[in-house]
Structure formats: structure tokens, C-alpha cells
Homo-oligomer: A and B are copies of this chain.
């Protein structure tokens, strides 16, 4: 089977063995925003055509490709949902010469009734539903829009989104705080762990995030450390709001970002187990096995 996670700004595909082993992969910047109207079948063929020519006939897609801006808008599946529900909700996409099916995202509402959506990350969660989250637990997928998911009995029961990464980029790039900072990623060479931890600790103090932000300016930080402090402040606020007390958090993401979250979670009394984003390959495999492809 071929698994595809087609997001807003990125395209990732896996050539998968029946046991979920990743035999080959493609990754690139051909996110759905780069695809012209009607161009999804041809773009997909350009990306994975060589695998199709080698005989693969099953393609399972997920991600923003199922949104209004994607190939076909697909209603998200309400929680609670596990692997079986995800497999039962896939829809067919017209794609010559192969069977293409789409995993819809998940939806829920938070405590106050505000809608929540996931498109793509549900397959990373699904990868853990067959293993670390086969029972009950909590998962965090850090990113521009970080997701915290609650799992019970091997099904995702609810989740919340936190715009931490996108807020970081906007505050750093477009407020006076950015003038204090050296160029480059906060997790790059100049990352300052001690100052990151000061930011995380600050998030636990009274005053609120909008007040805490001003400290980035007044604390006399160096241009190397100010971005690390802002990162700690925002991640600290996210963890303070989202993490159940004393949780063991399954962290899914790239090494740099999950490293930051692991530290912030530990500072607030939680524990973490880290998983790489290839969990999506395991999830797509588990879902794909339950689908009737004929």
C-alpha cells in the first residue's frame, strides 16, 4: 500500500509493506496550496507514479487534501473514533489505474462547545492506537497548531488545538519582540536551554500570557536567548493549559520540537514518551488493513 499525508504546505508519501515497514518514501513542498484546481490526480501521479508502475494499486490518503481547499472536502469523523471507525469512514477518490481512498479528519468540541478539527494527525494517533495508546492515555503533537488528544479504550475521545507555533512565528516576526532576536530557528545553534526554562517557569506565574510577553523585552535577554525565552513562554502556557496533572504524554513529532516539549512537560510534573512522525505510516497501515480495497 502507498500511504500519503498531504498537508497544506507539504506532501509526504510512504511505500509500505503489509506489516507497515516503510520501504521507500517521498517528501516535498508540494502541499495542497501549490496544486491548481483539478490538479490533484496529476500531481499525485507525478509524485508516486514510479511506485504505481512497479505494481502498487492501493493508495490511502489523509490530511488537508480532504479539506475544502483540497481534492475533495470530506466531513470529519466525530469522536470517539479508533482505527475501525477511521477505516469505516474512508471515501473513494477517482484516480485512474489505482484505488485511492481518503481518511477523513476527526472532529470534536471542547468543554465549551467550540468545534475542533484534525486533518492528517489522526493517522499519527492511529499509529499509536495500535501500541502505546491501545488503552487509555494522552498524546501531544507539537507544531504550528499543536494538538492534545485524549484516548480511552483505544479510541480518540477528544482533542484540543493550541496555536502555539503560529503565534510564536507571528510574535517573533511581526512585533517589537522580534527586534531583540537573532535570525534563525529557535531550536537552531543558538538555542539557550536555561533561558527556555525561565520562559516555561514564567508561564506558571500569575499575570497571563499577554503580560508575560512583555518580559521578553524587559528582562535584558541577549539576542541569542530572547527567542528561546519566547519559545519557553508559549510552550509553557500551552502545557499548563493542556496537560492533565501528572500525565504520561505520548509525544509525536520531530526531534527538535519534541525535545522542547519533553522538557516543558517534565518541568510541570509530567512524563513523556517520544515517537517520530512516521507513526503516520503505522497508522495508515492499520487503517488500510481494515479497508475493503476491491
Contacts and interface: CB of A to CB of B under 8 A. Distances in A.
Contact of A238 (B110, B145, B161, B210): B210
Interface stretch (A95-103, A166-174, A258-266): A166-174
A160 interface: yes
Interface residues of A, number: 44
Candidate in A116, A166, A169 with the most chain B CB atoms within 10 angstroms: A166
A215 interface: yes
Interface string A206-240: 11111101110011100000000000001001101
Contacts of A219: 114-115
B111 A218 contact: no
B214 A145 contact: yes
A238 B164 CA distance: 18
* Chain A binding surface, main DSSP class: helix
Contacts of A193: none
**Count of identical protomers in the assembly:** 2
A218 B117 contact: yes
A112 interface: yes
Contacts of A164: 210
Given A170-B171, A170-B174, A174-B173, A210 B114 contact: no
Candidate in A169, A177, A207 with the most chain B CB atoms within 10 angstroms: A207
A294 interface: no
A292 interface: no
24 contacts: A111-B205, A111-B207, A112-B205, A112-B207, A115-B219, A115-B220, A116-B218, A160-B207, A161-B211, A163-B210, A163-B213, A163-B214, A164-B210, A167-B210, A169-B174, A170-B171, A170-B174, A170-B175, A206-B241, A207-B242, A208-B209, A209-B210, A210-B238, A210-B241
Interface of A: 110-112, 114-117, 145-146, 160-164, 166-167, 169-171, 173-177, 202, 205-211, 213-215, 218-220, 234, 237-238, 240-242
